[in-house]
């Protein structure tokens, strides 16, 4: 990996981590397009740039999360199902789900169709984050648990679930950011622990990791700020069509499988 590739991957991570288009899917595809082999360093790099994204959320939402006890407890309730699925199925997720290109592509397309279908219904979206009950929090957490499958996306699964429960799109986006904080932090911490020997024994590559982290942080910060404003006046259709068009392009140009 060179500096340009680290910049590109950092930008891709920052752009896609908190949008409903699956950052994992995009990082896998981008790596293939740049001819990067799936090495231990690349896996570590992806974990580090994901840390850049979570750092942006911590910068933006730490005060919001810890200043509202009810909201904090709801995030805890939502996190539990994701933690159970994520940690319980860690090896299956890493060794099986991430190795099936057709599974990722099918899921990527499927959720895009769900976006388009759900926006065709006249859902009554009036609720805000302060209306979330413990039961709804758990249901939202169960929805986020599906995001362990590459191609789903945490934001996509949470926003769709919350819309079905009557929450406004921009409020759902805000909640998915708050819920992402413990979710991504937990997943990143586990991945870093798994790769601790490589990280501690590394003599070079620190510049690439630093560049990727910084670029992902800045890009994610800008995306999060934009996305909440966008959903205040727009639907998910843009992201549904993006998924279908992007998938068609990948198949047409034989990028996947």
Domain for residue 256, yes or no? no
Both tokens of 254, joined, read 């034989």
Is 257 among the domain residues? Answer: no
150 φ/ψ angles, rounded to the nearest 5 degrees: -55, 135
Q: What is the pLDDT of residue 85?
A: 81
Per cent of the chain over pLDDT 70 is: 95
Q: Torsions phi, psi of 125, nearest 5?
A: -110, 100
> Tens digit of pLDDT for each residue in 89-145?
656 665 666 667 788 888 899 999 999 999 998 789 999 999 999 999 999 999 988
How do residues 167-214 score in pLDDT, each as one tens digit? 999 999 999 999 999 888 887 887 788 877 877 777 788 899 999 999
Q: Work out the angle between the directed axes of helices 154-164 and 169-194 (0-180°, nearest 10).
A: 140
The whole-number average pLDDT for the span 213-222 is 96
Tell me whether residue 32 is in a domain: yes
Please tell me the pTM assigned to this model: 0.90
Pair 53, 222: CB distance under 8 Å: no
On average, the pLDDT of the chain sits at 89
Judge whether 215 lies within some domain: yes
**Residue 173 belongs to domain spanning:** 3-251
Closest CA to 115 of 79, 166, 152, 165: 152
Counting the structural domains of the chain, the total is 1
Q: What is the pLDDT of residue 95?
A: 62
Residue 180 lies inside a defined structural domain of this protein: yes
Between 113 and 147, residue with greater pLDDT:
113
């Amino acid at each position: 990996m060179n500096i340009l590739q680290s910049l590109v991957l950092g930008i891709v991570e920052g752009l896609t981590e908190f949008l409903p288009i699956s950052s994992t899917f995009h990082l896998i595809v981008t790596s293939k397009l740049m001819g990067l082999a799936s090495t231990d360093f690349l896996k570590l790099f992806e974990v580090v740039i994901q840390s850049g994204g979570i750092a942006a959320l911590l910068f933006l939402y730490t005060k919001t999360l810890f200043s509202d006890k009810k909201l904090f407890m709801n995030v805890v309730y939502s996190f539990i199902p994701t933690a159970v699925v994520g940690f319980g199925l860690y090896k299956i997720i890493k060794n099986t789900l991430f190795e099936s290109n057709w599974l990722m592509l099918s899921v990527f397309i499927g959720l895009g169709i769900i976006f388009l279908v759900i926006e065709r219904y006249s859902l009554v979206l009036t609720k805000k984050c302060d209306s979330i009950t413990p039961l709804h929090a758990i249901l939202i957490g169960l929805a986020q648990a599906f995001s362990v499958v590459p191609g789903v996306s945490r934001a996509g699964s949470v926003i769709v679930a919350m819309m079905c429960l009557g929450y406004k799109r921009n409020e759902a986006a805000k909640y998915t950011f708050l819920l992402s904080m413990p979710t991504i932090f937990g997943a990143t911490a586990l991945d870093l622990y798994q790769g601790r020997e490589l990280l501690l024994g590394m003599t070079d590559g620190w510049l690439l990791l630093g560049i990727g982290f910084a670029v992902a942080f800045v890009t994610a910060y800008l995306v999060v700020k934009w996305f909440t404003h966008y959903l205040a006046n727009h639907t998910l259709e843009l992201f549904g069509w993006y998924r279908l068009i992007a998938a068609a392009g990948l198949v047409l140009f034989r990028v996947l499988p």
